[in-house]
Chains A and B, each alone.
Chain A
Amino acid sequence: MANDKKPPVGRRGFLKDAAATAAAFVAEPAHGHAHAHHDHDHQHQAVPPDVALRVKALESLLVEKGLVDRAALDAVVDSYETKIGPRNGARVVARAWVDAAYKKRLLADPTTAIAELGYSGGQGEDMVVLENSPKTHNLVVCTLCSCYPWPVLGLPPVWYKSAPYRSRAVIDPRGVLREFGLELPEDVEVRVWDSTAEVRYLVLPERPAGTDHLSEEALAALVTRDSMIGVTKVLPPQAGGRA
């Protein structure tokens, strides 16, 4: 850092009185950040404007102490922004759809079968695959925090980690599914999986009708992140495919 000798504002005292500081921002609900674009519809909670500064100060301290390497930090970010994401899970699903022997292995020993395709790592140590059928629909949540199968789905979206989803998925799963546009008949059994331990869940959605002619790669392109969490189904290509 160029200004090692003159710490920027916000670099000092950022843990001291953290509670009081944070509490002061409760009464100040303005967005503490600017976006390059404003056409998105997600709900941000108010972010204290000094969070970015506090993180920056802590990063500088840890780098100066030789505890972390900046290039390594960039590499971690790059891994989850460009390599580890829901396209991995989509490839697992598509393989299971076209290869009966793979599907059998995937259901019997999910962690190993997923690793066959090159996907393994943190928050995917002990995987369980849940197969949807016309009579059974599986839905995954973590009511206590944000547990999610990183190697196959990447980092979770904001809604998955939000209070509305965490609170409702277990008590009103059909209502949650309706909000995602999925109305399930009464005779379908809904199974909700609350990720309370280190077991991580991947939903194997049903292969949509009318896809017999599609290649494995084309099938993977239809598989959405949300269908592998279990809040939607995979739509056939004529219905728009991946949304």
Chain B
Amino acid sequence: MNGVHDMGGMQDMGPLVPEKDEPVFHEEWERRVYALTRLVRAGGGRWNIDAGRYEIERIPPAEYLRMSYYERWAWRLPIQVVKMGLVTQVEVESGTPAPGSTKATPQLTAARVPAMVATRVSTKRDVNVKATFKRGQRVRARNMHPTGHTRLPRYARGKAGAVAEDRGVFVFPDTNAEFLGEKPQHLYSVRFTARELWGDRASPRDSVYLDLWDDYLERV
């Protein structure tokens, strides 16, 4: 989706404002929305990281730009728990469990949290999928404009680069985000020169590397 979240190369977004000694969270509700979002995943129900990003990307654009980072998480969470089937829309709107609904037992206790946060849940897949491209090969990012979720930023589309590394086989976000299958395929680190992306005013030495899936690329 050509949304406002796809910000690479946009201009006039304002100054960078680093905060000295910034706390991890600024507000109590930020702590809670972060922890809730991490923990509801343990309650079962259909969800994945790409679906989570896609939900954020579908926040209306003016709202997306206005919101702080954790406000976007606060927007997503009620939508997510309903889509996961953990609660109903009516329960979210009323704020109380439906009459007669059963009470579950939390899957994750405090004692299990340290193990949970240290657990790797990789989207790398140990399956035998043929690589279309080789290290060193020239490639072009496809000029594609999918209306759903994608991790191919607009600024790279149609641009030529070179495969710097084959990172192995990973879950494909475009299908995974909509539960249409993992479609595992090779992921490559692709180097684009700054001049290819941004024209002659860019430094001739500089470059941008993107991690791009097989389906995003074509031969030059």
Residues on A lying within 8 angstroms of B by beta carbon are 4, 7, 11-16, 18-19, 22-23, 26, 33, 35, 40-48, 51-52, 54-62, 64-69, 71-77, 79-81, 84-85, 111, 120-122, 124-126, 128, 141, 143-146, 151, 154-155, 157-159, 161-171, 173-174, 176, 179-180, 186-199, 226
Question: With A15-B78, A146-B69, A190-B206 known to touch, is A81 a contact of B24 (CB < 8 Å)?
Answer: yes
Closest to A4 in B: B96
8 cross-chain pairs, A with B, having the tightest CB-CB distances, nearest first: A143-B8, A42-B19, A197-B211, A11-B95, A69-B106, A75-B113, A66-B104, A76-B35
Chain B residues touching A, range: 35 or more
- Complex Cα distance A144/B4, Å? 9
**Chain A nearest CB, measured from B42 CB (Å):** 8
| Residues from chain A with Cβ under 8 Å of B138 in the complex | none
Contact A45 B66 (CB under 8 A): yes
Shortest B92–chain A CB gap in Å is 5
B121 near A191: Cβ-Cβ < 8 Å: no
Q: Is A157 a contact of B18 with CB atoms below 8 Å?
A: yes
**Could you mark each residue 181-213 of chain B with 1 if its beta carbon is under 8 Å from any beta carbon of chain A, else 0?**
000000101000010011000110111111111
Known contacts A55-B32, A189-B207; is-contact A197 B187 (Cβ 8 Å): yes
Q: A40-B19, A125-B120 are in contact. Are A199 and B167 (CB under 8 A)?
A: yes
Query: Chain A at the B interface: mostly helix, strand, loop or mixed?
Result: mixed
Q: Provide the B90-130 mask, 1 if CB < 8 A to any CB of A, else 0.
A: 01111111000101111011101110011111111000000
Which residues does chain B contribute within 8 Å of A41, judged by CB atoms? Answer: 17, 19-20
Measured between C-beta atoms, what is the minimum distance from A89 to chain B in Å?
Answer: 15
Q: A67-B86, A191-B206 are in contact. Are A51 and B74 (CB under 8 A)?
A: yes
